[in-house]
Structure 1
Amino acid sequence: MSSSAEATIQPSSGPLYKQLVQKLKGEILAGTYPVGTQLPTETELSERFAVSRHTVRAALRQLRDDGLVSSRQGAGTTVVRPGSAQTYVHEINAISDLINYAAGMRFEIETLGMIECNEDQAERLSCPEGQRWLHVAGFRFMEGDAAPICWTEVFIHADYAGVSRLLERNRSPIYELVEDLYGERVEEVEQIVQSGHAPINVAPTLQIESGITVLEVQRRYRLTSGKLAIIAFTLHKPDMFRLSFTLRRSKS
């Protein structure tokens, strides 16, 4: 159980129910509430987070819509596998929300090593030919699942390739490892969602036909200095991924 200081959510940080959704979602993905277990009651959540029952109900309704929990009269709210319909929901409102992308998942690395970009790779990364990157690739799995939810390739600039020794035993997001190891700070993440195609060697494990159209999520991480440090490509089956984000009017 978190302390009251950890649990309190702030009215100035956006809608209370949205903050509660993010906190509960993070705990579910991190395994605090495993699949098949029940969340605390509405009363317990209301007291823990110092919010109204109305706020708790709105948050639980959002978690149900996202396919993370199910509710039944008299049986409480039960954690289910992310979407009984096999949908992976990823909600982003800030860079810190990318932590939830790695939390609760395991990354089984199949390829790890330095590369010098050939012509095709340079075009893909929008970098000079011959530039050196640490290449990491593998499948991501939800805890307890035998089938992967996506294929991920990550390219880390050679200047930060030292994180390679941490990848096998550390489940933190790679950008956090770069920040911690090199004292850098990620200032901006550009995200592009577009159609793509699964490589021949990846399609069978994702249980799709080779060459079928999939969703490709590309993220480019820039440091405060403006340097591009990480480029990540993730392939999802179209029926297993939904991206949610919130846009707010600038105060300026």
Structure 2
Amino acid sequence: MSEGTRTTGGHAVLADLLRDEIGGGTYPVGSRFPTEPELQERFGVGRHTIREALKLLAEQGILGRRRKTGTTVLAQRPVAPYVHSLRDLKGLFDFAQSTQLDVRHYGFASSVAKSFESFSGLREGRWLRVAGVRSTRNDQQPLCWSEVFVPEKLAPALEAIQQGDRAIYEVIMDEQGLKLDYVEQEVSATTMPAAMADLLHAGTETAALAVKRRYVANNGQTFELSYNLYPATRYSVRSVIRQRI
């Protein structure tokens, strides 16, 4: 079947063809992708069709597009969204076991009040800040930028954080003899900084979801705060809401 015939179905068909070529190694990850004029000349279709096809591949996390640097191949296959079923505290433990954190920063911050001002009653003082890229364990695809804050007196060592598949709050509970009482969560829509989009292989995607959580022990103490920034198409929360009787 000729390329012209295959692309007569529009941008979706063209996107399928280009996705197959990328998946087959024609354009390796990290390489520059052909320009819009080059693709127009090759396939004999209009500029709009080319742009819509590239937009679709960018939304799937396969291509990254920048005005000054052009189009780059980010992945061989679409980045699947992470669906977080959050019915109870077990859902948080499942999240920790199905993802992993590549620590890029381990140090102390003087205050967190401004970043977590929606959570009342936070104490002043130094907090340990652990930050990095969180990826899914099954395919190693980047999922979000993650930051965790722990009061200085409860701060675990970096070695303890990097061992096994436990979440940081689990490490703290074990070391400090704490029991988790509840988790307060806030999800908000925001924009994705260009540098962060590059780090997460998010292409031109600018919409993002910010998820903030506060972990509170049964003694009323806040022992962890977390901030996760997701490209909007990579994360969704699934909840069950029941009628109270």
Q: Return the TM-score normalized by structure 2.
A: 0.61
Q: CA deviation at 1:233?
A: 0.7
Q: CA deviation at 1:164?
A: 3.5
Aligned partners of 1:112 and 1:106: how far apart in 2? 16
Say if 2:91 is the partner of 1:97.
yes
Give 1:1-252 correspondences, 5 Å limit.
86-117=80-111, 121-126=112-117, 131-208=125-202, 212-251=206-245
Structure 1 residues 183, 163: closer, same or farther in 2, change over 3 A?
farther
Structure 1 residues 201, 96: closer, same or farther in 2, change over 3 A?
same
Aligned partners of 2:100 and 2:205: how far apart in 1? 26
Give the gaps of 5 or more residues in structure 1: 1-82
Aligned partners of 2:140 and 2:166: how far apart in 1? 21
Aligned residues: 166
| Contact 1:163/1:181 (<8 A) preserved | no
Aligned partners of 2:241 and 2:188: how far apart in 1? 20
| Contact 1:107/1:138 (<8 A) preserved | yes
Aligned partners of 1:128 and 1:189: how far apart in 2? 14
Aligned partners of 1:144 and 1:94: how far apart in 2? 23
Residue 209 of structure 2: SS of its match in structure 1?
Answer: strand
Aligned partners of 2:129 and 2:193: how far apart in 1? 16
Q: Return the TM-score normalized by structure 1.
A: 0.59
Aligned partners of 1:201 and 1:227: how far apart in 2? 35
Does 1 or 2 have the higher relative contact order (CA < 8 Å, sep 6+)? 2
> What percent of counterpart residues are identical?
25
Q: CA deviation at 1:103?
A: 1.1
Aligned partners of 1:122 and 1:209: how far apart in 2? 32
The amino acid across from 1:102 in the alignment is A
Structure 1 residues 194, 213: closer, same or farther in 2, change over 3 A?
same
Structure 1 residues 90, 213: closer, same or farther in 2, change over 3 A?
same
Structure 1 residues 212, 85: closer, same or farther in 2, change over 3 A?
closer
Aligned partners of 1:211 and 1:122: how far apart in 2? 29
Q: CA deviation at 1:183?
A: 0.4
CA offsets 1:104-130 (integer angstroms, 9 cap, x no match):
32211000112212xxx4311337796
Give the gaps of 5 or more residues in structure 2: 1-76
Aligned partners of 2:123 and 2:177: how far apart in 1? 28
Q: CA deviation at 1:187?
A: 0.4
Pick the structure with greater CA Rg.
2
Aligned partners of 1:161 and 1:90: how far apart in 2? 27
Aligned partners of 1:199 and 1:129: how far apart in 2? 29
